[in-house]
Amino acid sequence: MSRRGVAARCVLLAAAAALLPACAGEAGPPGTVTVFAAASLTGSFAKIGAAFEAANPRLAVRFNFGGSSALAQQIVSGAPADVFAAASPDTMQTVVDAGDAMAPQVFARNRLVIAVPPTNPGKVSQLADFADPDLTIALCAEQVPCGAAAAKVFSAAKITPVPDTFEQDVKAALSKVQLGEVDAALVYRTDVLASGGKVESIAFPEADQAVNDYPVAALSSAPNAAAAESFVAYVLSPEGQRVLADAGFDRP
Amino acid sequence: MRTQASTAPDQHDRPASGRSARGRGTGLPPLLVAPAVLAFAFLLLPLLALVVRAPWRSLPELLLSQEVGQALRLSLVCASSATLLCLLLGVPLAWVLARADFPGRKLVRALVTVPLVLPPVVGGVALLLLLGRRGLLGQYLDAWFGVTLPFSTPAVVIAEAFVAMPFLVIAVEGALRGADRRYEDAAATLGASRSLIFRRVTLPLIAPGISAGAVLCFARALGEFGATITFAGSFPGVTRTMPIEVYLALETDPPAAIALSLVLLGVSVVVLVSLRDRWLTGSAT
């Protein structure tokens, strides 16, 4: 306990006080920390991982990015992971229910935006356009978090969308927009930012109805429990939060 | 590959200077038995795990649900259409590869097998780049005929055919190379036209190879996921085939996904067994 606490504090200190090499180098837990994280965290967690490694020279971070549900499935089936960061509390709950994680903490929030190809060929401007049968529309399948959020938004706005396809994850929906195959899709704001200007985004007020919480937890079967705790602490630290904010996430 | 080797006639199978034990020995070499059993177990046990863990009690209810029926029907229709398309285009291609002599034939043959190694999702993106609304050809289809392929049932057939055709081409080409050309020569000397020879001599000669190839092709098309979901998307009743239904079920309800996989498994076993006789004939000739 005390070692873990020291380690976490060390990391926090290192982060806040722009690195104390002696502290980080000697007290940080050694080895590898394996982080399973939702696909939408790919860019920001890679940055956080690099900064975390710089602050903890004896630690290497390994990531496994994927759909939250698939990752949860892998963890429950015994995959050797230290940390799980999910794109939805429901998915995290399945891991908690299986006894594999305790006390998840929300570290970021994400909201939906309308993504359209650069020239906006469908002249989409608002959420109500998703009910236009002449437009080609992609939504996430309701089984995945972005689809569940979209369904919540539409029911709150009392709009019945007429999609042409239900994509298996948010990146697939976004790539259909990038390729110009659909006129519009509902994706997360962070995904549009990550695409680097290849799609345009339109914010809409109804998005407030379905803000997505991202929980993170150290896993109870973590092979490297101390390192898991310090990584979670780092994600919640001002340093980690800054990276997430830059990527377009809201603070919890 | 197996069919290719096994449909080859015996005469050039064994060199005259073969090992002496070869012709007389009947039993299996003991050294091969253990790895063979291991291979069989390796292929079978994961399926067994599926069967053991299947939610048998809720199975009937799941199977009678509308989505599953819809997805299964769509899968069967699309896989059959894709197989038909592959037969219509793939058999002539196999014939050209096996019989025609033209520069760059080896390169063409290698290119034909590319979809085998291409990750199917990449295949789907490639199809979008060619046939999508903004694709190389697709933009003209859209502008001239108002046809957009993505997100339609024909797109599913195209994606499945793209991924499955190499299986058919390779099987049929192997059969053609193995077929005894003297029959064709004899027919020619008797005055039969080229197309008559192809229809009445060549085709019957390689029929086992074609049916083996078609079965492989159908099985591959039935299980196709990556290219389909990328190129055709996923909409219930239009483009959502069984593998996509399974994938989505896995997100929320893994037991249901297992049940759906069992259906797919059951269908493929029925198809394979029903074609088994022809398959075996193929290996024996």
Burial class (CB in 10 A: 0-12, 13-18, 19+), A69: buried
What is the domain extent for residue A173? Answer: 112-210
A8 and A100, same domain (yes or no): yes
Per-residue pLDDT band for B278 (boundaries 50, 70, 90) equals low
A105 and A140, same domain (yes or no): no
Query: Any chain B CB within 8 A of the CB of A165?
Result: yes
Contacts of B148 in chain A (CB under 8 A): 136
Asked if the structure places residue A251 within a domain, the reply is no
Query: Any chain B CB within 8 A of the CB of A144?
Result: yes
Which structure tokens are listed for B216? Answer: 């492989």
Percent of chain B whose pLDDT exceeds 70: 87
A92 and A140, same domain (yes or no): no
What does each C-alpha distance from B53 to A94, A137, B242 come to in angstroms? 19, 37, 19
Q: Is 50 exceeded by the pLDDT of residue B1?
A: no
Per-residue pLDDT band for A220 (boundaries 50, 70, 90) equals very high
DSSP secondary structure code for residue A219 in this structure: B
Asked if the structure places residue A252 within a domain, the reply is no
pLDDT score, position B277:
59
Q: Is the dihedral of CA B239, B241, B243, B245 positive or negative?
A: positive
In this complex, do B250 and A70 lie within 8 Å of one another by their Cβ atoms? yes
In this predicted model, what pLDDT tens digit does every residue of B115-146 receive, in sequence order? Answer: 989 999 999 999 999 999 889 999 999 889 98
Other C-beta atoms closer than 10 Å to the C-beta of A16 total 12
Mean pLDDT of B146-159: 94
pLDDT score, position B25:
60
| Angle at alpha carbon of residue B80, lines to B77 and B86, rounded to 5° | 140
Per-residue pLDDT band for B162 (boundaries 50, 70, 90) equals very high
Asked if the structure places residue A141 within a domain, the reply is yes
Whether A231 contacts A83, CB under 8 Å: yes
| Closest Cβ–Cβ partner in A73, A168, A181 for B254 | A73
Q: Is the dihedral of CA B162, B163, B167, B170 positive or negative?
A: positive
How many structural domains is chain A composed of? 2
* CATH number of the domain residue A192 falls in: 3.40.190.120
pLDDT score, position B84:
96
In this complex, do B248 and A141 lie within 8 Å of one another by their Cβ atoms? yes
In this predicted model, what pLDDT tens digit does every residue of A16-68 receive, in sequence order? Answer: 444 433 343 344 567 899 999 998 898 899 999 999 999 999 999 999 998 88
Q: Is 50 exceeded by the pLDDT of residue B4?
A: no
A142 and A194, same domain (yes or no): yes
A194 and A240, same domain (yes or no): no
pTM value is 0.77
| Closest Cβ–Cβ partner in B125, B232, B251 for A143 | B251
How many Å lie between the alpha carbon of A4 and the closest alpha carbon of chain B? 34
| Closest Cβ–Cβ partner in B151, B248, B252 for A164 | B151
Q: Which residues contact A92 (CB under 8 A, 6 or more apart)?
A: A72, A84, A86, A101, A104, A215, A217
Q: Write the single-letter amino acid at A86.
A: A
Contacts of B230 in chain A (CB under 8 A): 172
In this predicted model, what pLDDT tens digit does every residue of A138-148 receive, in sequence order? Answer: 999 988 888 98
Query: Any chain B CB within 8 A of the CB of A97?
Result: no
pLDDT score, position B24:
56
A102 and A141, same domain (yes or no): no
A181 and A126, same domain (yes or no): yes
A137 and A95, same domain (yes or no): no
How many Å lie between the alpha carbon of A126 and the closest alpha carbon of chain B? 23
Whether B224 contacts B143, CB under 8 Å: no
State which residue of chain B sits closest to A69, comparing Cα positions: B251
Please state the three-class secondary structure of B152-164 as a single string.
Answer: CHHHHHHHHHHHH
Contacts of B248 in chain A (CB under 8 A): 141, 143-144, 166, 168
pLDDT score, position A169:
84
Q: Which residue has the tokens 């190129």?
A: B231
* CATH number of the domain residue A38 falls in: 3.40.190.10
- Indicate the SS3 state at residue A222: coil
In this predicted model, what pLDDT tens digit does every residue of A90-135 receive, in sequence order? Answer: 889 999 999 999 889 999 999 999 999 999 999 999 999 999 999 9
A74 and A94, same domain (yes or no): yes
CATH fold of B59-101+115-284 reads MetI-like fold (1.10.3720)
In this complex, do A166 and B250 lie within 8 Å of one another by their Cβ atoms? no
A202 and A235, same domain (yes or no): no
Q: Is 80 exceeded by the pLDDT of residue B166?
A: yes
Chain B residues bordering chain A (beta-carbon distance below 8 Å): 125, 128-129, 132-134, 148, 150-151, 229-230, 232-236, 239-240, 244, 247-252, 254
Contacts of A86 in chain B (CB under 8 A): none
A206 and A226, same domain (yes or no): no
In this predicted model, what pLDDT tens digit does every residue of B195-233 receive, in sequence order? Answer: 999 889 999 999 989 988 998 899 999 999 999 999 999
In this complex, do B233 and A141 lie within 8 Å of one another by their Cβ atoms? no
pLDDT score, position B55:
84
Q: What mean pLDDT is reported for chain A?
A: 86
Q: What mean pLDDT is reported for chain B?
A: 85
| Closest Cβ–Cβ partner in A144, A165, A175 for B251 | A144
- Tell me which of A93-97, A219-223, A240-244, B55-59 is least confident: B55-59
Per-residue pLDDT band for B53 (boundaries 50, 70, 90) equals confident
How many Å lie between the alpha carbon of A168 and the closest alpha carbon of chain B? 7
A19 and A91, same domain (yes or no): yes
Number of Cβ pairs < 8 A linking chain A and chain B: 63
Query: Any chain B CB within 8 A of the CB of A70?
Result: yes
Asked if the structure places residue A224 within a domain, the reply is yes
In this complex, do B128 and A69 lie within 8 Å of one another by their Cβ atoms? no
